[in-house]
Amino acid sequence: MEIIFKNVTHSYEANSPLEGIGLNDVSLAIHDKKFTAIVGKTGSGKSTLVRHINALIKPTSGTIKVGDREITPETNNKNLKSLRKNVGMVFQFPESQLFEDTVEKDIMFGPMNFGMSESDAKESAKKMIKLVGLGEEYLDKSPFDLSGGQMRRVAIAGVLASNPETIILDEPTAGLDPVGRKEIMDLFKNLQKQGRTIILITHNMDDVANYAEEMVVIHDAKVMAVGKPKDIFNDKELLTNDILTLPRSAVFAQKLSKRDFSFPQLPITISELTAEIKQQVHGD
């Protein structure tokens, strides 16, 4: 589904002394079946942006089109079920999305809510828990008696179980160990290859470079840049103004540039970096 933000502004506590701007006149298209990364500093508006997509919050002004659904300031909380079936979201803090008394029930909730039979949902829970790297023995545990990274995995399993077309991930790998992070990122990439749209908020620029096809930079409640990671990470203006940080490969290349190496375009993945180095060392 194509997602289109048109002049979207969101004020928190509008018309009160505490009023704060979460999004400021944002227009943006997020493309169907692509892997899009959303980056930006702490408090820049990333979570605010994505919460509009499944109407967890409504715009103060402007509209968001999600496929043929339109979300406006007037959208009420009725009839959102079909939207939420199509747009799954893993929250920034997984605990806030866990609520059943067992992991199994928690994962089954979404699918059953959207019409799956109990026995199919049970099967799905078994599959999902393994997909996120936990054993079946976790199904009978309370989701609150888990470690932080285990809770994260259960929250991801719960969202994937409903098989949404569009998957929004708000810093889904925070708290995962590095091996788990790679497995889970590969899992998202595979889901995209199977035709899902993936929207990933992250502070990990290596993950952006390795997995995303498109990239959106948010700064001070506004969209500052949209494009391919390779182009955005080579945008000098964004970098000098401290709006964006680079993947580790690009930082490494910058350091080599001070030592007689030259990179017309900064490499953003480790394979690009090492290929360039080899070429320049061998002089061919």
Partner 1 sequence: MEKIISIKDVTYTYPESKQPAINNLSLDIYRNEWVSIVGRNGSGKSTLAKLIDGLIESESGTIFVDGQEVNEENIWNIRSKIGIVFQNPDHQFVGATVEDDVAFGLENQGVPRDEMVKEVDDALKMVDMQDYKTRDPQSLSGGQKQRVAIAGVLATKPSIIIMDESTSMLDPNGRKTVLDLVKQLRDQQDMTIISITHDIEETELSERIVVLRSGEVVKEADPKAIYDMGSELTKYGLEEPFSSQVASLLKDGIKLPEGYLNEEELIENIWKLSSKM
Ligand X SMILES: Nc1ncnc2c1ncn2[C@@H]1O[C@H](COP(=O)(O)OP(=O)(O)OP(=O)(O)O)[C@@H](O)[C@H]1O
The site partner of 270 among ligand X, partner 1, Mg ion, none (C-beta below 5 to 8 Å per kind) is partner 1
By CB under 6 A, residue 47 contacts ligand X: yes
Report residue 168 as tokens.
């929004």
Nearer to ligand X, 22 or 111 (CB): 22
Q: Which stretch binds partner 1 (CB under 8 A): 59-67, 80-88, 100-108, 170-178?
A: 170-178
The site partner of 222 among ligand X, Mg ion, partner 1, none (C-beta below 5 to 8 Å per kind) is none
Q: Which stretch binds ligand X (CB under 6 A): 1-9, 121-129, 148-156, 224-232?
A: 148-156
**From the CB of residue 147, how many other CB atoms can be counted at a distance below 10 Å?**
9
Out of 43, 190, 241, 265, the residue judged to bind partner 1 by CB under 8 A: 43
DSSP strand pairing (222-227 vs 214-219):
antiparallel
**From the CB of residue 231, how many other CB atoms can be counted at a distance below 10 Å?**
13
Do 108 and 161 meet the contact criterion of CB atoms below 8 Å apart? Answer: yes
Which residue from 197, 229, 216, 209 is spatially nearest to 31, judged by alpha carbons? 197
By CB under 6 A, residue 11 contacts ligand X: no
By CB under 8 A, residue 16 contacts partner 1: no
DSSP state of 263: -
CB crowding 48-63: b at 16 or more within 10 Å, else e: bbbbbbbbbbbbbebb
Virtual torsion, Cα 209, 232, 23, 184, nearest 10 deg: 0
Helix, strand, or coil (residue 115): coil
Q: Which stretch binds partner 1 (CB under 8 A): 3-11, 115-123, 166-174, 209-217?
A: 166-174
Chain residues binding ligand X by CB under 6 A are 12-13, 20, 22, 40, 42-48, 92, 145-150
Chain residues binding partner 1 by CB under 8 A are 12, 18, 40-43, 47, 92-93, 95-96, 145-150, 152-153, 170-171, 174-181, 203, 205, 242, 245, 248-249, 252, 255-256, 259-261, 270-271, 273-274, 277-278, 280-283
